[in-house]
Chain A
């Protein structure tokens, strides 16, 4: 039994389920909505020495980073766990000759990839929108780096949501916690404590440089996110391994 087979098995399970489309639709929606808003209130946004592309980006990523992204991460985790909670599937899965670590890892990898797709679509969508509404040259490279860092800052949220979704078959618990945490981040992100709150990090990293990142350095956000992710993953896996099914 190789890990690649487990990964293949996990991918096969996604066939003909379209919940993952949410990860494509959510960023697209925000791109369209943000661009529309930008065009509509252009006069207001572009007063003084405002930079047009930064204003456009702000319109696209604010709501996405604060609410839609963390919520779609939660929904994906619920869905990846749900297919096993229903129809007695954990029992069968646990009687197959495979390492429990491999299942947990495979599910995490799929989850990370889905979030990655979401980031990629947001990035490409923003570029297309910038061209259409004509905001001039945009810093493609800086935006790509920010998107990658944003992806990394999603990891702790993703690991926590996976832990909760597998632990509790009642979807109200992971979804409720995600809602509460995201709504709290609306307040915290704009305060001095934003850099210490995991749900604020994705939106801080996505914000155009003048308003976002602030005192958030790349090494800080990467190391904090990856360490927190690893801790949460290990806790999640330990609970998973001990789960009685």
Chain B
């Protein structure tokens, strides 16, 4: 019997045993859909975290004063001494390193923002013009802190604050008081919402010198540094550390971290998690495979006399084996296809319900899910098909 007839005949059989076939297809489909949905969830979580990190900036190296290590490191920490200041001079020095594309010194504090009878306590970032590109921030109106004009009293407002303090929308050029100083609004940040637990819609940004004055400090909170490329992150890290050690009389008293290292860890963990849930879902497919095998064995028993008849009219064992094989193929193909569709529909529903979670099923998971369905189906049919092909025709004809 040729392939086309084998497929057609087995398709007819599958269709005519409607309930039985639907049951198997459903079991298969649920297994495949589980693989697709669970991996979509896992990969969505990974993308979400990665996205959150990269919204903070790419190729980012962060320097802060003091050694973060608990042992060795900075001896003063153990004695309760505050670490040496990380100064604006330090930042400028680091800025000249060839591995550094740009940097932004950062001070953070809290102050009262007042204007037109409104008053509100806000988070204040002190920085320079470079903060905008490093942190991937966008402006909705006006301009950011001007280059080289750190001494002018400009302020950039978060979008929420701009709406609250200037409901008429006329913001840029307006005067506003922060703490005891008067500032002129130079721009408004585009609304970005919460990012890594930090709501940029409710902050203000002022030049670093004003911030240091306002919070009465000469030490920076952070230096945010963008390396020239992904490959220069590590060299930049080493160079920065070396440069600051030189400036600090040979003391290694700053901490330099890269966002990439943290990100890579999260990425690894979440990838492993995704693989794990995919594996668990695949087990449900194996269970479906056992179901297929069981049902096929029952089918062989039910159709014993039919198999005998096929042998009597001259069907070789190979033809009979292939017929049962093809039945399993149809069932798992249908299960795989329906499961694929169900899974993608499920992932779509998750994306609609939780728009922040990019729950796209990874291509490898869809392929692996459907392939696992096909392989389990075919493996599960091996034994029943072999049993059918081996039947003794005389006994089979009498239904024994």
- A in complex with B: no
